[in-house]
Structure 1
Amino acid sequence: MITQPQVTPTPDPDEERRRIQTERLLAYRDDGPLVAVLKGRLGRGLPPVPAVLAALLAIIALAVTGSLKDGPILIVPALVLVALVVPSAPRDHLGRLDWLTPPLLRAAEFLTIILLGLAAGTPKWLLFVLLYVIGYHTYDTVYRTRQSIWPPAWIFKAGLGWEVRLLILGVGAAADQLTLVASILTAYLLVLFSVESVVSWVRLDKASAQANADQDLEQSPEDAAEQVTGDAEHG
């Protein structure tokens, strides 16, 4: 029996580019476990940029009008952001301006943390460290994906995502326990993100070194001599 060789279909370059762009922007959003649970139940979803802008303007309005004072009102900014932005997660983020979604979302998250901290009297140094830790996680994600190195999916869930982080802080602020809650959250995220990042980069360096070593072993003496000669001439 003669079997025809199976030909692997070549992916469409444009489709592959759109897929990678979508995955990259979704990674930059830093969605967490709540989005993971609800994403498949939200249908097509809301346009991301208008949703984030609406939430950001609502939070700014609450701050400007002086509504953010002690008490249950402090959970409102987190609820507004979650209610408007979580439904935008199912979108493919391929619109002309959808690249603005991650920076706008990060700005909304940082602004909410600052407003809650100031309203609840949380030490400013603690707010700075919390923002730094989240900012480092964002930078690490961007740096990896630009080198086609994708962070593991579990780190976004373990890192709670922007939505769960804000809900936790909102509840803590409403209960007048924001300093304690922010301290625990900051310590947890600091250990999680720093350890995962260091371990991942160390493993990558080892894998790269092993790949180079394997390549050197496969290199013929003639190729090695030619490479040395070429390096000497360039030197």
Structure 2
Amino acid sequence: MITQPQTVPAADPYEERLRMQTARLLAYRDDGPLVTLLRGRVGPGLPAVPASLAALVVIVAMAVAGILDDGPILLAPVLVMIVLVLPTAARDHLGRLDWLVPPLIRGTEFLTIILIGLAAEAPKWLLYVLIYVIGYHTYDTVYRTRQSIWPAAWVFRAGLGWELRLLIIGVGAALGVLTWVLAALTLYLGVLFAVESITSWVGLDKQTALAQAGDDLEASPEEAQEQAGGEAERT
């Protein structure tokens, strides 16, 4: 998975902007190990926006038609999501509307979790907590990349990606053990994302503090005296 733009020397500003756009959108997709494994094996892939939108429409149609009942049928929306959305990962995401792909994927993932959970009569509060945990991870990724602080690639693999999360939930629902699966998945993802996020931000704060301290040590005596004088005047 590409979660950090590759360094290229003396890039054209327009090409650099496109490269950053692709890197950010791929990070926002939150693809996991399965998508990473199959990305290069699906040819040119499906158009990202139409395929993602089609997956959402089909899953909504399933819910409206009332075919999502307890049992193996609950794997159906997961398979629809994987069949239609997974091949879109091979695209360059440079289309005018490709910025819609990450919210479509995340929204469809959340909707699928809710529909499966309600059909399998899983605790609603557990569904809410799982969605909150995934949403926090998405927010953290967006906030970091907008400051050019890229999460490590292993975080996306360890986070399982939208595809493995949905597969695990679908299989759990089909086997009638969804509540236990949701509890384990929520606990695992919550600890993973919280610990990694806190550790990364604390490490960044330490690096910033050390860099500022280094700048202060490198300042000449005249600059230090002038800075001290300016602080004294402000007080």
Q: Same fold (TM over 0.5)?
A: yes
Distance change (3 Å), C-alpha of 1:15 and 1:119: same
Distance 2:41 2:155 in 1: 22
| Cα deviation digits, residues 51-92 of structure 1 (max 9, x gap) | 110000000000000000011110000100000000000111
Aligned equivalent of 2:44: 44
Range with bigger deviation, 39-48 or 182-191: 39-48
Gaps of 5+ in 1: 1-7
- Aligned partner of 2:61 in structure 1 is 61
Q: C-alpha separation between the residues in 2 aligned to 1:48 and 1:144?
A: 24
TM-score by length of 2: 0.94
Shift of 1:228: 3.3
Question: Distance between the aligned counterparts of 1:92 and 1:226, measured in 2?
Answer: 52
Q: What corresponds to 1:162 in structure 2?
A: 162
- Counterpart residue number, 1:16: 16
Q: Hey, what does 1:4 align to over in structure 2?
A: none
For residues 56 and 130 of structure 1, the distance between their equivalents in structure 2, rounded to whole angstroms, comes to 20
Unaligned runs of 5+ in 2: 1-7
The one-letter code of the counterpart of 1:28 is Y
Q: Which moved more, 1:25-34 or 1:13-22?
A: 13-22
Specify the alignment match of 1:116 in structure 2: 116
- Aligned counterparts of 1:46 and 1:234: Cα–Cα separation in 2: 61
Q: Percent identity?
A: 69
Q: CA deviation at 1:40?
A: 1.2
Kindly state the Cα deviation for residue 9 of structure 1 after the two structures are TM-superposed.
4.8
Q: Which residue matches 1:217?
A: 217
- 1:84 is aligned to 84
CA distance in structure 2 between the partners assigned to 1:94 and 1:20 by the alignment? 10
Q: Which residue of 1 aligns with 2:34?
A: 34
Which residue pairs with 2:3 in the alignment? none
> Is residue 184 from structure 1 mapped to residue 184 from structure 2 by the alignment?
yes
After TM superposition, give the deviation of residue 233 of structure 1 in Å.
Answer: 5.3
Q: Deviations over 1:142-189 (max 9, x none)?
A: 010010000000000000000000011001111111101111100000
Q: Which residue of 2 aligns with 1:197?
A: 197
Per the alignment, residue 128 of structure 2 pairs with 128
Q: Show the counterpart of 1:3.
A: none
Query: Is 2:144 the partner of 1:107?
Result: no
Amino acid at match of 1:192: L
Offset of residue 229 of structure 1:
3.6
Q: Separation in 2 of the partners of 1:90 and 1:37?
A: 11
RMSD of aligned C-alpha atoms?
1.3
Matched AA of 1:73:
I
Q: Which amino acid aligns with 2:13?
A: P
- How far apart, CA to CA, are the structure 1 residues paired with 2:150 and 2:41? 25
Is the radius of gyration larger for structure 1 or structure 2? 1
User: Residues 208, 70 of structure 1: CA spacing in aligned structure 2 closer, same or farther, 3 A cutoff?
Assistant: same
Please give the alpha-carbon distance, in whole angstroms, between the structure 1 residues aligned to 2:234 and 2:52.
53
How far apart, in 2, do the equivalents of 1:103 and 1:224 lie?
49
TM-score (norm 1): 0.94
**Matched residue SS, 2:78:** helix
> What is the CA–CA distance in structure 2 between the aligned matches of 1:83 and 1:234, rounded to whole Å?
64
Letter in 2 for 1:17: R
Secondary structure of the corresponding residue to residue 90 of structure 2: coil
Q: In the TM superposition, what whole-angstrom CA distance separates every residue of 1:11-41 from its partner, at most 9, and x where no partner exists?
A: 1111111111100011000000001100111
- The count of residues paired between Structure 1 and Structure 2 equals 228
